[in-house]
């Protein structure tokens, strides 16, 4: 689970550029897919409530307060929500994080859960492995593969081929059937009810007081999953913002790109000064009652530049890559932007290079935007437009 955030980013990135599915993004107070509705694409939903009763042939990413899925999902299901209930008729793989998670229905491959309360209902069918990390974990369904994880409390009454769980408290009920080994690592003596079927070896390792790791051991995967979901949301939102920016202000985007390409070192210097000067100026303005509103404005400008700097760097980078293969031909800003963002994403996977890429993007992006905007305002003043 250490690299889960990066894995999730890669999966969603592949979704976004997959030629098989076009990708649908829905944002509203409530996003619904009716029982008679068929979405023949990947679906990304941002809402307070997401309710999927129909069919989605591709992958589904749902980020909401409450997520309910009772229809068919042809691909994988990614969920980030406070409360989730999945009763899918069919789904390939489930990745979910949140407060209360309930899973039932048919899952072809794996289920990966992280959260406070994790429940695999009695009618759940999991084709491969089940991983759970968090608070209370109840496994009442049928898992063809193994059950693994680290939780606070583990209770099993369903079926599985093997079990390897670390938990503060563990109980295997009389209806449980395990065709292989059961390995329990617990702080307290586990409870195995009479009648429970364990065909393999039952091994119990009771954690001594000095061996007990902090609660963060179980919480770390949850945080990793949530961090990954946030990364995905930010990346997707930046894709949307970049496309809108190109659509509405293509000439301005081109002007910033030209400044970056023609004056890279000046852009670097201006960016370096901007990153230092703007926060310092904001702090000084906040220190004075009269300058407080200007301090708020300057911080807003700083955060906006910080956010969009990678958009302009990505467009330039993507265009340069495309021009290698399409020499002398005009290149559209849209594929340049998407390819550039994917390149930055991939470069970010390399530990040391990740830091250098971030510095590069912020400084050059900052400087190019500030310089291009300054030249634009200067031209507008000369023409009497402002």
Per-residue model confidence as pLDDT tens digits over 285-294? 777 767 777 8
Global pTM reads 0.57
State the residue for tokens 């390149």. Answer: 343
Q: What percent of the chain has pLDDT over 70?
A: 85
What is the average pLDDT across 173-202? 90
H helices present in the chain, as ranges: 4-17, 216-248, 250-262, 264-287, 292-325, 333-347, 351-382
Task: Place 111 in a pLDDT band, splitting at 50, 70 and 90.
Answer: very high
What is the average pLDDT across 259-263? 90
Q: Which residues, 6 or more positions from 246, have their beta carbon under 8 angstroms from its beta carbon? A: 253, 315, 333, 334, 337
Task: Place 5 in a pLDDT band, splitting at 50, 70 and 90.
Answer: very low
> Token pair for residue 147?
């059950």
**Which one has a higher pLDDT value, 18 or 300?**
300
Give CA–CA dist 80/252, Å, rounded: 36
Quote the distance between the C-alpha of residue 285 and its chain's center. 36
- Going by DSSP bridges, is the β-strand pair 43-46/60-69 parallel, antiparallel, or unpaired? parallel
> Token pair for residue 60?
């589904």
| Interaxial angle between packed helices 216-248 and 4-17, expressed in degrees from 0 to 180 and rounded to the nearest 10 | 30
Query: What are the tens digits of pLDDT across the range 319-365?
Result: 888 888 777 677 788 888 888 888 887 777 676 777 788 888 888 88
Measured CA angle at 26 (ends 20, 27), to 5 deg? 155
What is the average pLDDT across 4-9? 44
Do residues 60 and 73 touch, judged by C-beta distance below 8 A?
yes
| Boundaries of every domain in the chain | 4-216, 249-382
Terminal CA-CA length for the chain: 55
Q: What pLDDT is attached to residue 322?
A: 85
Give CA–CA dist 140/136, Å, rounded: 13
What is the average pLDDT across 49-69? 90
Cβ atoms < 10 Å from Cβ of 106:
15
Q: What pLDDT is attached to residue 212?
A: 46
Measured CA angle at 76 (ends 24, 86), to 5 deg? 100
Q: What pLDDT is attached to residue 155?
A: 94
Taking 70 as the threshold, does the pLDDT of residue 130 lie above it? yes
Give CA–CA dist 386/374, Å, rounded: 13
Residue among 186, 101, 191 nearest 77 (CA): 101
Taking 90 as the threshold, does the pLDDT of residue 305 lie above it? no
């Amino acid at each position: 689970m250490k690299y889960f955030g990066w894995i999730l980013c890669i999966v969603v990135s592949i979704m976004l550029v997959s030629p098989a599915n076009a990708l649908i993004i829905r944002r509203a107070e409530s996003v619904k897919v009716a029982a008679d509705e068929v979405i023949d694409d990947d679906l990304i939903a941002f809402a307070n409530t997401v309710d999927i009763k129909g069919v989605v042939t591709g992958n589904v990413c749902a980020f909401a307060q409450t997520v309910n899925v009772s229809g068919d999902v042809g691909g994988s299901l990614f969920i980030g929500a406070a409360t989730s209930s999945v009763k899918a008729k069919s789904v390939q793989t489930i990745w979910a994080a949140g407060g209360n998670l309930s899973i039932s229905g048919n899952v072809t491959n794996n289920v990966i859960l992280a959260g406070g309360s994790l429940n695999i209902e009695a009618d759940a069918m999991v084709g491969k492995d089940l991983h759970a990390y968090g608070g209370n974990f109840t496994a009442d369904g049928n898992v063809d593969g193994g059950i693994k994880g680290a939780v606070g409390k583990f209770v099993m009454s369903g079926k599985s081929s093997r079990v390897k769980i670390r938990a503060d408290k563990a109980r295997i009920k009389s209806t449980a059937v395990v065709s292989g080994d059961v390995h329990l690592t617990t702080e307290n003596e586990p409870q195995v009810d009479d009648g429970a079927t364990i065909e393999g070896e039952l091994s119990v390792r009771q954690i001594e007081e000095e061996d007990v790791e902090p609660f963060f051991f179980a919480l770390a995967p949850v945080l990793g999953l949530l961090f990954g979901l946030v990364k995905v949301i930010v990346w997707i939102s930046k894709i949307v913002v970049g496309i809108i920016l190109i659509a509405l202000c293509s000439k301005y985007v081109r002007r910033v790109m030209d400044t970056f390409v023609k004056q890279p070192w000046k852009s670097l210097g201006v960016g370096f000064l901007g990153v230092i000067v703007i926060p310092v100026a904001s702090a000084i303005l906040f220190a004075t009652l009269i300058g407080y509103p200007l301090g708020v404005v300057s911080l807003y400008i700083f955060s906006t530049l910080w956010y969009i700097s990678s958009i302009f760097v990505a467009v330039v980078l993507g265009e340069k890559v495309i021009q290698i293969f399409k020499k002398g031909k005009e290149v559209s800003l849209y594929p340049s932007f998407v390819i550039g963002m994917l390149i930055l994403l991939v470069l970010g996977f390399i530990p040391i290079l990740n830091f250098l890429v971030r510095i590069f993007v912020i400084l050059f992006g900052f400087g190019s935007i500030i310089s291009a905007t300054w030249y634009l305002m200067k031209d507008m003043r000369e023409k009497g437009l402002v």
